[in-house]
Structure 1
Amino acid sequence: MRFAHIIVAASLFAAGTAIAGPCDLEIESTDAMKFSKDSLSVPASCKKVTLKLVHTGKLPKASMGHNWVLAKAADVQGVANDGIPAGADKGYIKPGDARVLAATKLIGGGESDTISFDATKLKVGEAYNFFCSFPGHIGLMKGSFALTK
């Protein structure tokens, strides 16, 4: 009987992961200031992208908070610099900053956040980057994001 429960649970888990499509992304962050991936991409056929950020660490967001921010590559440093004065309560993102294409909330160890954003505003061939806007984290916590044909 117990074996049957394991088979059913495994089947449900596999079915759940199979539902996630090419427009659904997940990335982890750690107490060591690392993202689990240094590049992400979705096909141009995606109208909406859903991204889940999971903080696998244990430290609180006040000392080791992470978020996931998407911007054009040319805008990343400006977004990061301009976000610092906004403070933690605003996720170190300047309110109303049009250069921010998508962003999760700032999370601490054991937390997660899921966002959805409009992929039709992105262009194939354009250089995009994601990063953590917590002060000082961008040096290690960044990567490329692409819309592919």
Structure 2
Amino acid sequence: MTNRILAAAALMLGLSFGANASECELSLEANDMMQFNTKVLSAPASCKEVSITLTHTGTLPAQAMGHNLVITDTANVAAVGTDGMAAGFDNNYVKPGDERVYAASKVIGGGESVTLTFSTEKLTAGGDYTFLCSFPGHWAIMQGKFEFK
């Protein structure tokens, strides 16, 4: 009972004891026209883990117009994308063991969803991060800013 009262008082005063679970759960859509529905995903630095659900709203199969979600430093986008193309579909277009990649989902096709949950342990608050689709040819235009602050 005391914890509830303290939590209610903290909410009324605008205090926070870390991120709410809902702040650490994000969603993103991708379509058959090689577009994400947003250019910015944001999570508070107090999140120990972040979950992002990627939904492919198109109809084309994964082999033809698949999408995945990869998070890396902005400076590494081109290299991660290029190495991902060489890694192939069986590796979800992500170079195996690539230490430049903080998180990566499997490739999904139209009508499918995947949830990527990852530790933020290696991220720095205010760092310069990008989310992208590493399917061949997609990473150059299918990307956005991942804010962790």
* Alignment TM class, shorter chain as reference: 0.7 to 0.9
Q: Which residue of 1 aligns with 2:33?
A: 32
**For residues 20 and 27 of structure 1, what CA distance do their matches in structure 2 show?**
17
Aligned residues of 1:54 and 1:113 also touching (Cα < 8 A): yes
Gaps of 5+ in 1: 1-18
Deviations 1:61-84 (A, max 9, x none): 111000010000111111111111
Aligned residues of 1:24 and 1:50 also touching (Cα < 8 A): yes
Aligned residues of 1:132 and 1:142 also touching (Cα < 8 A): yes
Percentage of matched positions with identical amino acids = 51
The 5 Å alignment of 1:1-149 reads 21-148=22-149
- Number of residue pairs the alignment of both structures matches: 130
TM-score (norm 2): 0.84
**For residues 20 and 45 of structure 1, what CA distance do their matches in structure 2 show?**
10
Q: After the TM superposition, list the runs of 4 or more consecutive aligned residues in structure 1 that deviate by more than 4 angstroms.
A: none
* SS in structure 1 of the partner of residue 109 of structure 2: coil
Gaps of 5+ in 2: 1-19
Paired letter, 1:76: V
Paired letter, 2:101: V
Q: Which residue of 1 aligns with 2:5?
A: none
